[in-house]
Structure 1
Amino acid sequence: MHDKNSRRRFLKLGGQALLLSPLASSLISCGTTKVSTGSTPATNHKPQAPNLLLNVRDFGTTGDGKTKDTLSIQQAIDRCWVLGGGDVLFPAGDYFTGAIALHSNVTLRLEKGASIIGSPDFADYPVAQVRWEGKWIKGHTALIYAFDAVNIGIIGEGKIIGNNALGGRPNEKYPLRHPALIEPIGCNGIHFEGFSTSYHLMWSIHPTYCENITIKNLTIRSTGGNGDGIDLDSCKHILIDGCDIETGDDCISLKSGRGMEGYTLLRTTEDVHITNCTFADTIFACIGIGSETSGGIRNVLIENCKFTKAQTHAIYIKSRPGRGAFIEDITCRNLDVSGTTQGFLRFNILGSGIQDPEPVPGDEGIPTIKNFRFSDIRVNDVPVLVDGSAVHPTKPLNGLVLENISGTCKNGITLANVKNAKLRNINVSGYSGPLLSTYNVSGSGLEGAVAIEPPKLPEPIVAPAQPYKLH
């Protein structure tokens, strides 16, 4: 009964969001597609065959790495768009530029030896409403950005290089959100393939409110805090295939909004397929699911990937009371994991991420979590196999599968507040202490578990005096 009421509440709030938020309604994609299950690969989207090929050199670009080519590049993109769409070609050269806007039915084609290099001047990046840590705020657009576009792409063997002077968090000197590297917002039909990126202290690729995304065979390099590789923010129907990602922060992060704003808008990240990728991280996790989960995250498939280094965990599922919504149907299979500082897997639903000033109150604000599946996992000397003790007893994890896990670890599995668990064929060695430690866990394969103390719970979140309204 509680789950049904919660679902009704989600649907009700989602309907209110369309009426109350001009921003949300302006960013809703014009296309519709069928939602798939977590085990079904997302659509491999490719742009339509180009009707036109325009060379940026014909519009006055110098490609000398010193002269700002912003206006010439934008003219090429704009003309391609008004003539019905096609490809904008970047021959070999260094194209120094401020922010450029992609339009519908336009693909940037980067030849080998072509580099788009970002300007160091904040004034070269327009100011708009952008997402930052789950909230819509005033901030700079990305080096390459798009609003409400359809069938856009960036392909080829070239490079996109952000200016390291722009990275970092908003601060007293630069109070607006800093530019991401590539950021489509409210777009439908995105294809990124073949190129490499470099940036520092800020997100590299940040689709927000987008659908039908293919990210394939990219080489992504970023360093420093906030140096995420790919952040999927309230997006659906995504394929990430064959990418090599080495980052300062999360290699891939899945988000959907924070606090009452994200919960009211209820834009879910769903139908995500990550496959054939290699990950290395030097500050946090390789794949982070959360902690901004107020719009919900579901139907995620991660398979056939290698995790070679992580400062914390290879996979970290995270949220906290005050987020609300759900994380469900997360499937991970056929993974190789090594080089982690803390472990293979952690799920922390009690205290990850900053609390929103306007959190979702009461039991409604405790995220619903269910159906986490991990199978055919090979680990090499991970400090902890699974840390799954930070789960709220009011909404326990319903459905956890750990099966066919092999390799070496220093410590085993810790679980709390889990029902319908299934553990099978856990064949690891090298650990000290018990293989399995539990509190309030039911299911199969739990024989020999050692009892642990319950997790410490955060203080309940009290409802505000006045109901929340988008503002």
Structure 2
Amino acid sequence: MTINNQRRNLMKALPAAGLSFSLPAVAATAPDPWLQAQAIVDHVSKPRKFRKQDFNITAYGAKSCKLTKVKAWVSHEDQEDIGTPAAGSFDCYAAIKAAIKACHEAGGGRVLIPAGDWFVAGPIVLLSNVNVHLSKGAHVYFSHNPADFAKYGDIDCGKHGKLTISRWQSNDCLNYSPMVYAYGQDNIALTGDDWTAILDGQGGVPFNDAGDCWWTWKGKQKTINSIGQGTTPNFKSGKMSENTVNPLNAESLATVAPALTEAERVLIQGEGDKWRADASYLPALSEAGVPLSKRIFGVGHYLRAPMIQLIGCTNVLLQGYRVQNTPFWQHHPVHCRNLVIRNVEMHSHGPNSDGFDPEACDHVLVEGCTFDTGDDCIAIKAGKDLDTQYGPSQNIVIQNCIMHSGHGGVTLGSEMAGGIQNVFAQKLVFENANWKTNPLNTAIRMKTNMNRGGYLRNFYVRDCTVPNGVQISPSFYASLPGSPIQSKTVATAAGAIVTFDCDYTPISDNVRIRPPVVDNIQISNIKASNVSKDGKTASCFQAIVILGPVASDYNGPLPVPPVFPVTNVSISDCDFGTPVNIAAPWYLYNVRNLTLKNVTIGDKVHNTVLSA
């Protein structure tokens, strides 16, 4: 198994590549930070230009398909009869690949997917100067069989398939190809006429006689986060999944990382063999410094592919289509520059179906999008463990969007080891239309811990509404033994309108040596309304939860590095409605200088500075 020189060199060069881009300076200390936001918008909104030539996929042999009904999962807990390509449908993978190649070699243009139903049993791989465009009424059904995404990658990994360079929950790996993929390309676009132009990941459609689907690989029978998201589709104890010990993984890190000291190995592996489950094994490989070429997953493993993943790309436009039923994260750009996602509908209620997760990206605009997800609507990432070579996520503007179901509306983290800075969110509607059955857990959310570390600074939010509140019942995470935070008592998982959680599910990470830093947060003009449910009339369980870093979680070498409180958070001119827990409308731990100015909670207006 080899990685070709071009991609190896790109992997080495990407961290420094940002130096070649001409981007406007963003000064975090400017008197009006919203002037910075407008400068970002102006810069990234410059029109993308493509040659005016169409390459219709039917000219390259594509044929539409007929549909048949199948009982499939449409969420964590619900099944419906939905349409899927009939057995024996024509596979348009080769035709779309040929059209993109011809377009690219001609100097660019538009690859047109016309109206109709199209079956694609492999990835759509974007190339520079190509706009893949879905016409009104075009519905692309990607194969629901994971094996089809281990056939066409550039890297032959033998029995594990032909895989692609990917990133899974912020760790680099060789894995199944995403359904739409690009690596190191410039001036690319994925567009649609409207939301009848659909990219369908078929994440809940069974691929075997046992009824398993992509979502089954999540592998947890119960979750604690969300109403309406409590189980994993078709998963039963004993089935293989990303959270089940995989016998293909090494029995000891000494085998794959012999340079580790015994103390380092013990720290990374933790107790028992739970670390050998794929979802834990990959982070362990990162912590151990195992190179990408040896982080082989794919066939025989259970890490679900993201729907749309773009790595190391510049000048990207995503616009005007609908994504649904994705196996994993819906959009995951990594180390991209000058990216716009506009007027995209993201609808997937399966496990981990985050809507838009920019990671280590610089100059990003999210505008006019609608989110209805099974996890965070937006989650800004920046690497995990030692995979921080791409640096921070920064200079991101989110505006004029609507959020429905999800864990967090605008979320930062949890994978943020490389840092997040200069993020602006304005004019958002946390609509929470499914509040009765599958509510938005929290509107504004940051999550990290002593493992994920990193920093968040210069985060600004203004002019947002929460017309149906958020989840009004609390959800909790378990604390570590000996923690001053009593386990499952702080509603950081769900129930607050604003949540900053620096102790996010700490029991999930063996290595806890990176205290996070959070500073300079400004939130203003948030208006939340109450709903009536289960005999309660409320907008949330608590209005504000800020859980700063917990020093006792640290388990690395002495001396313990500084563990700083969350500092300089300002919340002003807000009305958070009426919390269920009106007697304790906020929770604070390890926080310094939380300023509340003209903040209404229930029938009381607060003007105070708090530390705890």
- TM value normalised by structure 1: 0.82
Structure 1 residue 74 corresponds to structure 2 residue 243: no
The answer to whether the 8 A contact 2:498-2:543 is kept is yes
2:520 partner amino acid: N
Structure 1 residue 306 corresponds to structure 2 residue 415: no
The answer to whether the 8 A contact 1:201-1:227 is kept is yes
Structure 1 residue 143 corresponds to structure 2 residue 179: yes
The equivalent position to 1:132 in structure 2, one of 134, 146, 168, is: 168
The answer to whether the 8 A contact 1:27-1:186 is kept is yes
Aligned equivalents of 2:100, 2:386: Cα separation in 1: 38
- C-alpha displacement at 1:179, in angstroms? 2.0
The equivalent position to 1:107 in structure 2, one of 131, 148, 172, is: 131
Q: 2:546 — aligned with what?
A: 388
The equivalent position to 2:315 in structure 1, one of 189, 207, 214, is: 189
The equivalent position to 1:424 in structure 2, one of 597, 601, 609, is: 597
Q: 1:25 — aligned with what?
A: 12
Alignment of 1:8-407 (within 5 A): 24-28=11-15, 29=17, 31-32=20-21, 33-36=23-26, 37=28, 39=34, 40-41=37-38, 42=40, 43-64=44-65, 65=85, 66-97=89-120, 98-125=122-149, 126=153, 127-156=163-192, 157=194, 158-164=197-203, 165-167=213-215, 168-169=217-218, 171=242, 174-262=300-388, 265=389, 267-282=391-406, 284-309=407-432, 310-337=439-466, 338-341=468-471, 342-352=495-505, 356=509, 359=512, 361=513, 365-380=514-529, 381-392=539-550, 394-407=563-576
Aligned equivalents of 1:416, 1:122: Cα separation in 2: 44
Q: Percent identity?
A: 25
1:54 partner amino acid: F
2:496 partner amino acid: G
- C-alpha displacement at 1:255, in angstroms? 0.8
Aligned equivalents of 2:361, 2:510: Cα separation in 1: 24
Number of equivalent positions: 412
1:331 partner amino acid: Y
1:77 partner amino acid: I
Aligned equivalents of 1:293, 1:62: Cα separation in 2: 43
After superposition, give the CA deviation of every residue in 1:89-117 in whole Å (9 maximum; x if it has no partner): 11111121121210001001111011121
Could you say if the C-alpha distance between residues 423 and 107 of structure 1 is closer, same or farther in structure 2, counting changes exceeding 3 Å? Answer: same
The answer to whether the 8 A contact 2:310-2:333 is kept is yes
2:129 partner amino acid: N
Aligned equivalents of 1:174, 1:246: Cα separation in 2: 31
The answer to whether the 8 A contact 1:45-1:189 is kept is no
1:159 partner amino acid: I
Higher strand share: 1
Aligned equivalents of 1:336, 1:193: Cα separation in 2: 24
- C-alpha displacement at 1:390, in angstroms? 3.3
- C-alpha displacement at 1:26, in angstroms? 4.8
After superposition, give the CA deviation of every residue in 1:225-249 in whole Å (9 maximum; x if it has no partner): 2111111111111100000110011
The answer to whether the 8 A contact 1:397-1:419 is kept is yes
Structure 1 spans left out of the alignment, 5+ residues: 1-20, 437-443, 455-471
- C-alpha displacement at 1:139, in angstroms? 1.3
1:160 partner amino acid: L
2:12 partner amino acid: S
Could you say if the C-alpha distance between residues 320 and 329 of structure 1 is closer, same or farther in structure 2, counting changes exceeding 3 Å? Answer: same
The answer to whether the 8 A contact 2:577-2:602 is kept is yes
Aligned equivalents of 2:362, 2:11: Cα separation in 1: 16
Aligned equivalents of 2:444, 2:593: Cα separation in 1: 21
- C-alpha displacement at 1:357, in angstroms? 5.0
The root-mean-square deviation of aligned C-alpha atoms, in Å, is 2.4
Aligned equivalents of 2:310, 2:504: Cα separation in 1: 30
Q: 1:18 — aligned with what?
A: none
The equivalent position to 2:577 in structure 1, one of 378, 402, 408, is: 408
Instruction: Report SS of the residue matched to 1:72.
Output: helix
- C-alpha displacement at 1:35, in angstroms? 4.5
After superposition, give the CA deviation of every residue in 1:287-318 in whole Å (9 maximum; x if it has no partner): 22111110001111111001123442111111
The answer to whether the 8 A contact 1:288-1:317 is kept is yes
1:221 partner amino acid: H
Aligned equivalents of 2:369, 2:96: Cα separation in 1: 27
Aligned equivalents of 1:155, 1:80: Cα separation in 2: 16
After superposition, give the CA deviation of every residue in 1:165-184 in whole Å (9 maximum; x if it has no partner): 33444535851522221111
Aligned equivalents of 1:351, 1:216: Cα separation in 2: 30
The answer to whether the 8 A contact 2:543-2:576 is kept is no
The answer to whether the 8 A contact 2:341-2:365 is kept is yes
- TM value normalised by structure 2: 0.63
The answer to whether the 8 A contact 2:410-2:445 is kept is yes
The answer to whether the 8 A contact 1:51-1:84 is kept is no
The answer to whether the 8 A contact 1:138-1:176 is kept is no
Instruction: Report SS of the residue matched to 2:132.
Output: strand
2:347 partner amino acid: R
After superposition, give the CA deviation of every residue in 1:5-25 in whole Å (9 maximum; x if it has no partner): xxxxxxxxxxxxxxxx96742
